[in-house]
């Protein structure tokens, strides 16, 4: 009898505390005076995303419609209250002017959950982030990109040869763009980051690509489930010692980087890639130099400039694990993010035939001026319409739908005769999609219109409402590399092929209903017909 009573009491207490956990912060924004949507038990305002009722892009796109006159609003990310910034001027104030108060991202994975991610530049915090940013920044200047451009061109030419051979042997083929470009960007990361020559289009099961796909397959149900659990009950996941990324893939990544560095050190091998730059950074030999050409010839409209934080001299000595973590991040961004943006760029160019023809005219004229010689980094700066197409793709389909910032110290925001106080540990969101699809900043926002970024029109764009690579000192360090990669691939594709829809192509495109980034319902299917 006593045992039954104790069991009942323990069960009742567990249910009670679970209820408290599932409803905590219920009145947070009501007490703060911010408009918000009533949260559901445990999942807050994320239930429609968890149950796959809507895509994260459509979800974020609706925010300006839900709160047409509000500049900041409340949102429950599961049970955690988050301020969503909908006004570009407030965003600029918080992320740029008050950067010292909002310099970090929210901790998602600790060292216990995954040492690779937690030690990467994206996840580092405080002074350690500042030191790492300053260490890596010189590796991403225009002069360093110029050295890497020849490596990218080699992969692009390899791609053209493969696609032409396929057509010659089998006739025009249908390709799923994400799958194709994942292989292509994997090869680019292989050569530019690790000094590895890979041809994933021909050698489809090579170790490099297979491990990349295992590690970064965010469409994998198990990966998605683990990510949700890390958000809902991180302490439980850490107590169970569950990691987000596979142990064998992490081991492969570390061995790849460490072994490559060891061989190069022993044999005095110098190659213009990321491993070499990281080795130099580890020795303190990499410094930020001001180059007039880098400043004047931007990599494109979407390029973000480095802040003074990135230009300071870093003196910290980095461990092997910390260096490996930066390669991991570079791998993640290059493999998944770049291939996603490329897929959507291909779709827009394919269905907008006028854009495709205008792009071909510019590229073919440039190729004639080069005398058929390989593309040069400097030439990319002169391809204005290509830059317009890329800029519009990044507006309509930003690779990251939302990023966050964490308050480091109490700060009171004053706006419209109102006040809102952020306490240390509070989080605000930067919803890229909400800005980029807001008709107030972009008329007919769902239309793909590269002319928005023409010399005549781009001055009318509010730069604080165009944030494909983030905003402020914590912006994406690899924007120059990403733009160089995207432009080079599109240059060679459009020069050599006509992009055509197939019977499998979904027009108009529909997004997959989930909370994990930019994914389509049925893929993006395209045929490459030689010109």
Could you give the CA distance from residue 200 to residue 232 in angstroms, rounded to a whole number? 37
Give me Rg for the CA atoms of the chain. Answer: 24
User: CB neighbours (10 Å) of residue 243?
Assistant: 19
User: CB neighbours (10 Å) of residue 179?
Assistant: 14
Residue whose pair of structure tokens reads 């099961």 in the numeric block: 205
Query: Could you please report the per-residue DSSP string of 11-50?
Result: HHHHHHHHHHHHHTTTTHHHHHT---PPPBTTTBT-HHHH
Could you give the CA distance from residue 340 to residue 518 in angstroms, rounded to a whole number? 7
Tell me the HSE value of 217 on the side-chain side, using a 13 A CA sphere.
Answer: 15
Could you give the CA distance from residue 367 to residue 491 in angstroms, rounded to a whole number? 9
Cα 414 from chain centroid? 31
Binning the chain into helix, strand and coil, the percentages to the nearest 5 are: 55, 10, 35
User: CB neighbours (10 Å) of residue 385?
Assistant: 18
Nearest to 173 by CA among 162, 187, 186, 157: 162
DSSP 140: G
The verdict on whether residue 233 carries a ligand-binding annotation is no
The SS3 assignment for 196 reads coil
Could you give the CA distance from residue 468 to residue 449 in angstroms, rounded to a whole number? 16
Q: How are beta strands 403-406 and 427-430 bridged, if at all?
A: antiparallel
Please count the residues of the chain.
531
**b (16+ CB within 10 A) / e for 416-453:** eeeebebeeebbbbbbbbbbbbbeebbeebeebbbebb
Could you give the CA distance from residue 104 to residue 123 in angstroms, rounded to a whole number? 8
For 198, the token pair is: 């890979």
Residues in the annotated binding site: 476
Residues in the annotated binding site for heme: 476
């Amino acid at each position: 009898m006593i045992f039954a009573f104790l069991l009942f009491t323990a069960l009742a207490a567990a249910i009670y505390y679970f209820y408290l956990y599932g409803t905590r912060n219920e009145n947070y924004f009501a007490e703060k005076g911010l408009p918000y949507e009533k949260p559901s038990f445990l999942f807050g305002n994320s239930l429609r995303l968890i149950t796959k009722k809507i895509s994260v892009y459509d979800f974020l796109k609706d925010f300006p419609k839900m709160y047409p006159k509000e500049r900041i609003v409340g949102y429950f990310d599961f049970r955690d209250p988050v301020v969503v910034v909908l006004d570009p001027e407030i965003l600029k104030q918080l992320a740029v002017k008050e950067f010292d108060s909002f310099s970090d991202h929210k901790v998602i994975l600790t060292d216990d959950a995954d040492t690779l991610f937690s030690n990467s530049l994206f996840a580092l915090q405080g002074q350690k982030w500042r030191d790492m940013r300053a260490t890596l920044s010189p590796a991403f200047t225009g002069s360093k990109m110029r050295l890497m451009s020849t490596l990218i061109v080699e992969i692009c030419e390899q791609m053209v040869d493969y696609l032409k051979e396929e057509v010659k042997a089998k006739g025009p083929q249908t390709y799923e763009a994400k799958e194709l470009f994942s292989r292509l960007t994997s090869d680019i990361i292989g050569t530019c980051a690790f000094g590895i020559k890979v041809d994933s289009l021909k050698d489809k099961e090579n170790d490099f690509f297979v491990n990349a796909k295992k590690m970064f397959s965010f469409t994998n149900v198990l990966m998605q489930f683990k990510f949700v659990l890390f958000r809902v009950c991180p302490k439980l996941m850490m107590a169970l010692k569950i990691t987000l990324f596979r142990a064998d893939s992490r081991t492969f990544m570390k061995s790849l980087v460490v072994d490559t560095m060891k061989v190069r050190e022993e044999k005095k091998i110098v190659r213009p890639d990321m491993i070499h730059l990281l080795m130099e950074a580890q020795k303190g030999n990499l410094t930020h130099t001001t180059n007039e050409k880098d400043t004047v010839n931007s990599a494109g409209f979407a390029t973000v400039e480095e802040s003074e934080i990135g230009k300071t001299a870093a003196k910290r000595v980095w461990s092997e694990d910390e260096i490996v973590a930066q390669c991991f991040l570079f791998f993640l961004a290059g493999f998944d993010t770049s291939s996603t943006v490329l897929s959507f760029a291909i779709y827009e160019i394919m269905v907008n035939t006028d854009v495709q023809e205008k792009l071909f005219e510019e590229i073919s004229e440039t190729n004639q001026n080069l005398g058929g010689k390989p593309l040069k980094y400097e030439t990319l700066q002169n391809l204005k319409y290509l830059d317009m197409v890329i800029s519009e793709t990044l507006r309509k389909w930003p690779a990251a739908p939302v990023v966050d910032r964490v308050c480091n110290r109490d700060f009171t925001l004053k706006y419209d005769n109102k006040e809102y106080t952020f306490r240390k540990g509070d989080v605000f969101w930067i919803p890229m999609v909400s800005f980029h699809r807001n008709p107030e900043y972009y008329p007919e926002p769902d239309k793909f219109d590269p002319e928005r970024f023409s010399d005549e029109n781009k001055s009318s764009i509010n730069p604080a409402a165009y944030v494909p690579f983030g905003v402020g000192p914590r912006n994406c360090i690899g924007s120059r590399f990403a733009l160089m990669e995207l432009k080079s691939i599109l240059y060679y594709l459009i020069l050599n092929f006509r992009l055509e829809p197939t019977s499998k192509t979904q027009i108009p495109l529909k997004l997959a209903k989930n909370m994990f980034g930019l994914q389509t319902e049925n893929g993006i299917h395209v045929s490459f017909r030689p010109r």
